[in-house]
């Protein structure tokens, strides 16, 4: 069910065989475009069917985060910047091998190990902004609870320490970029070395920052929370006062429900991938094959967690 309302005024194009679920608890997995499902849009007058990405509205009205993030900011940030990334990405991928791929696959592929291909900027920024809107909610902020809080305490010492580290990362990202809380599966990948004692302890929460459009998908991390520190994200409301914007973001805007839900998905994915790798390893040993080339693409499995 797509959350849309009068203030956002999104018209839905023709959809065919589409499953798209979205909501306050939307996790990154659920928002993925499934590989074999497309939104079919007929190009007027040409009868050509192409797959394209949508500008998804935030899961709340554009004025719902006032006074912390103004409606005016949303009108430009979502209505112009995010929209342009979507439109330009669709133009760039039309008719190419990227057409029909999931957004996350496009991001990782066009990152190209740091030698960015042209669609990367648009693809990653589409993903980043979807993720950012969902990282916030009206009457947000406060503290997380449950397992998320436990992990934060474990990996940062305390919630306050985490907040400090997150705000510092966001404040010291020179130029444009993003700050992230991610879930990281800390595996040894040194030639044929293996982590001898893989356990839950190896998987941890980490704060990272990234420039321009780069996001932690390209490092194979699971993003849990982000804040946009491109100037367009805060200039109308805070001008140069990025630290004030960051404080308000933490105190009033963060959707800890979204972060918790993403953590659940991340843990499930991490476990699933470990099982996959274990299974593959056993298969290879049985078959006596020497083919153990590491999977470079960030794949989604067809039986991913769904709702």
Partner 1 sequence: MALRTLLTRKNLANSPMGMLGLRGLQTFSLPDLPYDYGTLEPAISGDIMQLHHQKHHQTYITNYNKALEQLDDAVAKGDASAVVKLQSAIKFNGGGHVNHSIFWKNLAPIREGGGEPPKSSLGWAIDNHFGSLEVLIQKMNAEGAALQGSGWVWLGVDKEFKRLVVETTANQDPLVTKGSNLVPLLGIDVWEHAYYLQYKNVRPDYLKNIWKVINWKYASEVYEKECP
Q: Which residue ranges make up the site for partner 1 (CB under 8 A)?
A: 76, 80-81, 84, 121, 174-177, 211-213, 230-232, 235-236, 239-240
The residue (of 22 and 212) whose beta carbon lies closer to partner 1 is 212
Smallest distance, partner 1 to C-beta of residue 175, A: 4
What are the φ and ψ backbone dihedral angles of 278, each rounded to 5 degrees? -60, -45
Closest residue by Cα to residue 14 from 40, 46, 52: 40
The residue (of 88 and 153) whose beta carbon lies closer to partner 1 is 88
How far is Cα 214 from Cα 124, in angstroms, rounded to an integer?
Answer: 7
Smallest distance, partner 1 to C-beta of residue 72, A: 9
How far is Cα 117 from Cα 180, in angstroms, rounded to an integer?
Answer: 23
What are the φ and ψ backbone dihedral angles of 236, each rounded to 5 degrees? -65, -35
The residue (of 96 and 172) whose beta carbon lies closer to partner 1 is 172
How far is Cα 278 from Cα 269, in angstroms, rounded to an integer?
Answer: 14
Smallest distance, partner 1 to C-beta of residue 266, A: 28
The residue (of 73 and 135) whose beta carbon lies closer to partner 1 is 73
Smallest distance, partner 1 to C-beta of residue 286, A: 48
The residue (of 12 and 172) whose beta carbon lies closer to partner 1 is 172
Smallest distance, partner 1 to C-beta of residue 48, A: 28
**DSSP conformational letter for 128:** H
| Structure-block tokens of residue 121 | 């900027």
The residue (of 152 and 218) whose beta carbon lies closer to partner 1 is 218
SS3 at position 162: helix
**DSSP conformational letter for 27:** -
Answer whether the bond into residue 67 is a cis peptide, omega within 30°: yes
What are the φ and ψ backbone dihedral angles of 293, each rounded to 5 degrees? -65, 130
Smallest distance, partner 1 to C-beta of residue 76, A: 5
Smallest distance, partner 1 to C-beta of residue 133, A: 17
The residue (of 25 and 122) whose beta carbon lies closer to partner 1 is 122
Closest residue by Cα to residue 31 from 103, 91, 87, 82: 103
The residue (of 183 and 230) whose beta carbon lies closer to partner 1 is 230
Direct distance between the N- and C-terminal alpha carbons of the chain, in angstroms, rounded to an integer: 12
How far is Cα 151 from Cα 134, in angstroms, rounded to an integer?
Answer: 21
How far is Cα 178 from Cα 172, in angstroms, rounded to an integer?
Answer: 10
Smallest distance, partner 1 to C-beta of residue 107, A: 15
Closest residue by Cα to residue 260 from 183, 179, 148, 140: 148
């Amino acid at each position: 069910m797509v959350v849309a309302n009068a203030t956002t005024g999104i018209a839905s194009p023709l959809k065919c065989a589409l499953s798209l679920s979205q909501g306050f608890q939307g996790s990154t997995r659920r928002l993925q475009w499934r590989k074999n499902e497309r939104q079919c849009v007929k190009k007027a007058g040409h009868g050509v069917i192409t797959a394209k990405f949508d500008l998804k509205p935030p899961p709340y009205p554009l004025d719902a985060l006032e006074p912390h993030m103004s409606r005016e900011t949303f009108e430009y940030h979502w209505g112009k910047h995010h929209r342009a990334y979507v439109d330009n990405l669709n133009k760039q991928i039309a008719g190419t091998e990227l057409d029909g791929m999931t957004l996350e696959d496009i991001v990782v592929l066009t990152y190209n190990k740091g030698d960015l291909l042209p669609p990367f900027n648009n693809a990653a920024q589409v993903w980043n902004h979807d993720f950012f809107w969902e990282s916030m909610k009206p009457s947000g902020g406060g503290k997380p609870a449950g397992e998320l809080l436990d992990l934060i305490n474990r990996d940062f010492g305390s919630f306050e320490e985490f907040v400090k580290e997150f705000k510092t990362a966001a404040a010291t990202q020179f130029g444009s970029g993003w700050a992230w809380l991610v879930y990281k599966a800390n595996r040894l990948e040194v030639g044929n070395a293996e982590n001898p004692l893989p356990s839950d302890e190896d998987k941890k929460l980490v704060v990272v920052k990234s420039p321009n459009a780069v996001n932690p998908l390209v490092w194979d991390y699971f993003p849990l929370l982000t804040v946009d520190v491109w100037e367009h994200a805060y200039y109308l409301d805070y001008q140069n006062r990025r630290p004030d914007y960051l404080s308000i973001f933490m105190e009033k805007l963060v959707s800890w429900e979204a972060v918790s839900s993403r953590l659940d998905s991340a843990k499930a994915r991490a476990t699933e991938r470990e099982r996959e790798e274990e299974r593959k390893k056993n298969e290879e040993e049985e078959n006596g094959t020497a083919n153990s080339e590491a999977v470079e693409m960030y794949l989604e499995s067809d039986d991913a967690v769904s709702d």
